[in-house]
Structure 1
């Protein structure tokens, strides 16, 4: 009878320890979930800022295209004896647009990475 009581007492202590461990694990999981939620909020904010930057770059590119059209119109009116100046001007614009295209590609890549991370986090949650 005494042995049965001791076995029952040991079993209850084991159950109590298991319950304590489960509670600790649950708290740990809740903390992890809170960190994940905070990270998701930060990623969403970063994505929003990247999208705003991308919109500004696209607006700037539209303005630049309008300027190019104006310049093109002016270049067409230039006299035929100034081809070197025209070539230099066009090379300058080509360099400018190559740089802007590179910036836009970089920004698109960043937005893609943020969207991918958000998608992965959404799948985990």
Structure 2
């Protein structure tokens, strides 16, 4: 049984490629089975060792995680870097020198970041909901 576990626990693609090179008798021998199938005892033993053969559907991440991931975007990082530069050049340096300060450029960039992230989140959230609805309509046999 240990040898069988080692064979079955390999990635499916690699195992399939290896078994495709074997003869039918070799494959049946490697998998400890026969043309007539498994015995009831073997079925129970394999179910206990490997679990049932069920299709697992990926679950979409939570809405909060999707919202955070929506802001993980190179465009947003560039805009945030521009906002930081603008904060120093338009607000801090003029404030330190006693000149007139302006937060309008920073405000515009922050609004662009928020809009970009929220639009990205909304699209991703809706597409995940649609994918979940489609998966719920499919029954695997």
Q: Please indicate the TM-score interval, normalised by the length of the shorter structure.
A: 0.3 to 0.5
Q: Report which structure shows greater RCO (CA 8 Å, sep ≥6).
A: 1
TM-score of the aligned structures, taking structure 1 as reference length: 0.44
More helix by share: 1
TM-score of the aligned structures, taking structure 2 as reference length: 0.39
**Greater Rg over alpha carbons, structure:** 1
